[in-house]
C-alpha cells in the first residue's frame, strides 16, 4: 500500500471498530447500572478501611463518567457522609479506568496490555485514596453544593425499558465524543501513513528514559479524551513510539485535564487539587515505566 491507502485503511477500520466498541460497551454498562440505585452505590462506598477504597475504585472503574457527571456524584457522596478515602478512590479511577478505555486498549493493543493497565490504575486508585485520607486531605473539601451535571433518574420497570434507555444513553454519549473520536482516528491515520518511523523512534522510543514522564506532563493539560488518544497512540506505537509513553499520555490526558481541574477546584481547596494532579502524574509515569519493562 502507498501512504494514502495505508491512512485510509487505518481510518476506516479503526473508526468502525472503536465506534462499535463504544456503543456496545456503553449499552452493557448502562443496562447494568439501571439495576443499581445511587443510594445502593453510596451504601457500598460507606465501608471504612481498605475495603471501602477497593469498592470506590471498583465503582469508579465501572462507571464511564466524564467530569461533568463525576463531580456532582462526588459531591453527593461527600454530602451523604461517605468516607473520604473511598470517594477519592472513585475520583481517581472513574476517568482513567472504565470499560470503554479498557475495551479499546484490549482491542487495539491486546489483552495483556489491558490487564496490566487495569491492574496498575486500580491499585493506584485504591492506594492513593487511602493515602489521601490518612494524610488528612479530607479537610481540603469546600462546603459547597454543585448543581446539575447528572441526568435525571428515570423510572424503568421492564428489561425492555432498561435496554432502550441504555441504548439511548449510549448513542447520546457516542454523539458527545464522536468529534473527539473522529479527530483522534484522523490524526492517527495521518501518522500511520505519512510520519517517518525514525523520527518517532528517536524522540519517543522506549530507549529514551525521559519519554514517559514527558508524555505524562504533556497529557495533563491537553484534555485528550481516551477515545481520541488511543487511536493516536496505536499509530504512534506502530511507528516506533514506546508503549509506555503512549500509556502515560492517555492516563495524563484522561485523568486530570484542565476542564476537570476547574470543576474540582469548585469543590476542593487548591492543596487537594494539586495532590490529585500529582496522583495522576505518578500513576501515569508508573504505568508507563511498567509497560516499557514488559
Intra-chain end-to-end CA distance of the chain, in Å:
31
Q: How far apart are CA 274 and CA 254, in angstroms?
A: 16
CA distances from 270 to 142, 181, 186, 191, 199 (A): 10, 32, 37, 38, 39
The pLDDT-based confidence of 104 (bands split at 50, 70, 90) is confident
pLDDT at 154 over 70: no
**Across 74-83, 112-121, 197-206, which has the greatest mean pLDDT?**
112-121
Residue 237 clears pLDDT 90, i.e. is over it = no
Residue 141 backbone dihedrals phi, psi, to 5 degrees: -95, 130
pTM of the model: 0.73
- What is the average per-residue pLDDT within 139-159? 63
Task: Provide the pLDDT for residue 134.
Answer: 93
Task: Categorize the per-residue pLDDT at 151 as very low, low, confident or very high, splitting at 50, 70 and 90.
Answer: very low
The per-residue DSSP string of 87-99 comes to HHHHHHHHHHSSH
Beta bridge partners of 268: 141
Model pLDDT, residue 75: 73
DSSP character string of 141-190: B-S------SPPP----SHHHHHHHHHHHHHHHHHHHHHHHHHHHHHHHH
Three-class DSSP labels, 31-85: HHHCCCCHHHHHHHHCCCCHHHHHHHHHHHHHCCCCHHHHHHHHHHHHHCCCCHH
Whether the Cβ atoms of residue 105 and residue 27 lie closer than 8 Å to each other: no
3-state secondary structure of 212: helix
pLDDT, residue 66, reads 55
pLDDT given at position 147: 43
pLDDT at 29: 73
* Nearest alpha carbon to residue 125 among 84, 103, 96: 96
Do residues 26 and 57 touch, judged by C-beta distance below 8 A?
A: no
CA distance 15 to 186: 9
- Note the pLDDT tens digit of each residue in 247-292: 888 888 777 766 667 767 878 999 999 999 899 899 999 999 998 8
Q: What is the rounded distance in angstroms from the CA atom of residue 284 to the CA atom of residue 92?
A: 12
The 10s digit of each residue's pLDDT in 118-147 is 999 999 999 999 999 999 999 998 875 444
pLDDT tens, position by position, 13-52: 888 887 888 788 778 877 877 777 667 777 777 777 889 9
Amino acid at each position: 500500500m502507498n501512504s494514502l491507502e495505508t491512512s485510509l485503511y487505518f481510518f476506516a477500520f479503526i473508526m468502525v471498530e472503536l465506534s462499535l466498541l463504544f456503543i456496545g460497551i456503553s449499552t452493557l454498562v448502562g443496562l447494568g447500572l439501571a439495576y443499581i440505585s445511587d443510594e445502593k452505590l453510596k451504601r457500598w462506598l460507606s465501608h471504612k478501611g481498605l475495603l471501602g477504597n477497593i469498592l470506590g475504585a471498583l465503582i469508579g472503574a465501572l462507571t464511564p463518567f466524564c467530569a461533568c457527571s463525576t463531580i456532582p456524584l462526588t459531591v453527593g457522596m461527600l454530602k451523604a457522609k461517605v468516607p473520604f478515602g473511598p470517594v477519592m478512590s472513585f475520583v481517581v479511577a472513574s476517568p482513567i479506568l472504565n470499560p470503554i478505555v479498557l475495551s479499546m486498549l484490549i482491542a487495539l493493543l491486546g489483552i495483556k496490555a489491558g490487564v496490566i493497565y487495569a491492574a496498575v490504575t486500580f491499585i493506584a486508585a485504591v492506594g492513593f485514596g487511602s493515602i489521601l485520607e490518612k494524610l488528612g486531605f479530607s479537610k481540603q473539601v469546600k462546603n459547597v453544593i454543585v448543581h446539575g451535571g447528572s441526568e435525571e433518574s428515570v423510572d424503568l420497570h421492564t428489561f425492555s425499558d432498561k435496554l432502550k434507555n441504555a441504548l439511548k444513553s449510549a448513542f447520546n454519549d457516542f454523539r458527545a465524543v464522536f468529534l473527539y473520536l473522529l479527530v483522534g482516528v484522523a490524526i492517527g491515520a495521518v501518522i500511520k501513513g505519512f510520519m517517518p518511523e525514525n523520527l518517532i523512534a528517536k524522540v519517543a522510543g522506549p530507549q529514551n528514559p525521559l519519554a514517559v514522564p514527558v508524555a505524562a506532563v504533556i497529557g495533563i493539560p491537553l484534555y485528550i479524551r481516551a477515545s481520541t488518544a488511543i487511536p493516536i497512540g496505536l499509530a504512534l506505537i506502530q511507528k516506533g513510539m514506546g508503549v509506555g509513553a503512549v500509556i502515560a499520555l492517555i492516563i495524563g490526558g484522561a485523568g486530570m485535564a484542565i476542564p476537570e481541574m476547574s470543576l474540582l477546584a469548585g469543590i476542593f481547596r487548591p492543596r487537594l487539587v494539586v495532590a490529585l494532579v500529582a496522583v495522576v502524574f505518578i500513576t501515569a509515569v508508573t504505568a508507563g515505566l511498567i509497560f516499557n519493562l514488559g
